[in-house]
Chains A and B, each alone.
Chain A
Amino acid sequence: MTVVTDVSAPAAPTTRLRVPSRWAFLARRLGFYLTAAWAAITLNFLLPRLMPGDPSVAIVDQLQRVSGRQLPPETLVSIQTLFGDPDANLAEQYLAYLGQLARFDLGISISRFPTPVADLVASGLPWTLMLVGTTTVLAFVIGTGLGVLTGWKAGGRFDAIVTPASTFISSVPYFWVALIALWVFAFELRWLPSSGGYDPDLEGPAFWLSALRYGILPAATIVFSAFGGWLLGMRNMTVTTVREEYVLLAQAKGLSPSRVVLRYAARNAMLPSFTGFALALGGVIGGALLTEIVFSYPGIGYLLYDSLTKRDYPVMQGVFLLIALTVLLANLIADSVYVFVDPRVREQG
Chain B
Amino acid sequence: MSAPARTETRTLTRSSPHEAVLEVRDLTVDYIGPDGAVTACKDVTLSLRRGEILGIAGESGSGKSTLITALTRLQRPPAATTSGSITFHPRDGRAGIDLVGLSPRELRRLRWSTMSIVLQSAMDALNPVMRLGDQFADVLRTHYRDLDRSGARDRTTELLAMVGISADRARSFPHEMSGGMRQRATIALALACEPELVVMDEPTTAVDVVMQRQILAQVLRLRRELGFAVVIVTHDLSLLLEVADRIAIMYAGRIVEVGTASALYRDPAHPYTRGLRDSFPPLHAPLRELRGIPGTPPDLRRPPSGCPFHPRCPVRVEACQSTLPALVPLPEQEAACLLLTSEENP
User: Contact residues of A with B, CB < 8 Å?
Assistant: 7-8, 10-12, 14-15, 18, 244-246, 248-257, 259, 263-264, 267-268, 271, 341-344, 347
Q: A253-B116, A268-B129, A343-B175 are in contact. List 20 more A-B contacts (CB 8 A).
A: A245-B124, A246-B125, A246-B128, A248-B74, A249-B117, A249-B119, A251-B74, A252-B72, A252-B74, A252-B112, A253-B138, A254-B107, A254-B109, A254-B142, A255-B138, A255-B142, A256-B142, A263-B130, A268-B128, A343-B129
The interface residues of chain B lying within 8 Å CB-to-CB of A268 are: 127-129
Question: In whole angstroms, how far apart are the Cα atoms of A28 and B142 in the complex?
Answer: 41
A253 and B142 in contact (CB under 8 A), knowing A14-B172, A15-B171, A344-B173? Answer: yes
Interface-centre pick from B104, B113, B128, B186 (highest chain A CB count, 10 A): B128
Q: Is the CB of B181 within 8 A of A10?
A: yes
The interface residues of chain B lying within 8 Å CB-to-CB of A343 are: 128-129, 173, 175
One digit per residue, 1 when the CB lies within 8 angstroms of any chain A CB and 0 when it does not, for chain B 177-191 equals: 110110000100000
Question: In whole angstroms, how far apart are the Cα atoms of A264 and B134 in the complex?
Answer: 12
Asked if B212 CB lies within 8 Å of chain A CBs, one says no
* Residue of A254, A257, A264 touching B111 (CB-CB under 8 A): A254
Q: How far is the CB of B230 from chain A (nearest CB, A)?
A: 15
Q: Is the CB of A245 within 8 A of B113?
A: no
Q: Is the CB of B112 within 8 A of A253?
A: yes
One digit per residue, 1 when the CB lies within 8 angstroms of any chain A CB and 0 when it does not, for chain B 201-226 equals: 00000000000000000000000000
User: Contact residues of B with A, CB < 8 Å?
Assistant: 72, 74, 104, 107-113, 116-117, 119-121, 124-130, 138-139, 142-143, 168, 171-173, 175-178, 180-181, 186
Interface-centre pick from B112, B130, B176 (highest chain A CB count, 10 A): B176
Q: Is the CB of A254 within 8 A of B143?
A: yes
* Residue of B74, B127, B178 touching A263 (CB-CB under 8 A): B127
Question: In whole angstroms, how far apart are the Cα atoms of A341 and B110 in the complex?
Answer: 32
Interface-centre pick from A14, A244, A251, A252 (highest chain B CB count, 10 A): A252
Q: Is the CB of B139 within 8 A of A344?
A: no
Q: A259: nearest residue on chain B (CB-CB)?
A: B138
Q: Is the CB of B108 within 8 A of A256?
A: yes
Q: How far is the CB of A4 from chain B (nearest CB, A)?
A: 14
Q: A8: nearest residue on chain B (CB-CB)?
A: B178
Q: How far is the CB of A155 from chain B (nearest CB, A)?
A: 9
* Residue of B112, B129, B181 touching A254 (CB-CB under 8 A): B112
A250 and B142 in contact (CB under 8 A), knowing A10-B181, A14-B172? Answer: no
The interface residues of chain A lying within 8 Å CB-to-CB of B125 are: 245-246, 248-249
* Residue of A7, A254, A344 touching B108 (CB-CB under 8 A): A254
List 9 A-B pairs, Cβ < 8 Å. A10-B181, A249-B119, A252-B112, A254-B107, A254-B142, A259-B138, A267-B127, A342-B128, A343-B175
Q: How far is the CB of B102 from chain A (nearest CB, A)?
A: 12
The interface residues of chain A lying within 8 Å CB-to-CB of B108 are: 254-256
Question: In whole angstroms, how far apart are the Cα atoms of A267 and B129 in the complex?
Answer: 8
* Residue of B112, B124, B168, B172 touching A244 (CB-CB under 8 A): B124
Q: A10: nearest residue on chain B (CB-CB)?
A: B178
The interface residues of chain A lying within 8 Å CB-to-CB of B178 are: 8, 10-11
Question: In whole angstroms, how far apart are the Cα atoms of A342 and B130 in the complex?
Answer: 9
Question: In whole angstroms, how far apart are the Cα atoms of A7 and B142 in the complex?
Answer: 32
Q: Is the CB of A252 within 8 A of B127?
A: no
* Residue of B111, B168, B173, B177 touching A253 (CB-CB under 8 A): B111
The interface residues of chain B lying within 8 Å CB-to-CB of A10 are: 177-178, 180-181
* Residue of A246, A254, A256, A271 touching B110 (CB-CB under 8 A): A254
Question: In whole angstroms, how far apart are the Cα atoms of A347 and B178 in the complex?
Answer: 15
Q: Is the CB of A344 within 8 A of B175?
A: yes
Q: Is the CB of B127 within 8 A of A246?
A: yes
The interface residues of chain A lying within 8 Å CB-to-CB of B180 are: 10
Q: How far is the CB of B168 from chain A (nearest CB, A)?
A: 6
Q: B130: nearest residue on chain A (CB-CB)?
A: A263
The interface residues of chain B lying within 8 Å CB-to-CB of A8 are: 178
Q: How far is the CB of A15 from chain B (nearest CB, A)?
A: 6
Question: In whole angstroms, how far apart are the Cα atoms of A253 and B109 in the complex?
Answer: 9
The interface residues of chain A lying within 8 Å CB-to-CB of B143 are: 254
The interface residues of chain A lying within 8 Å CB-to-CB of B107 are: 254
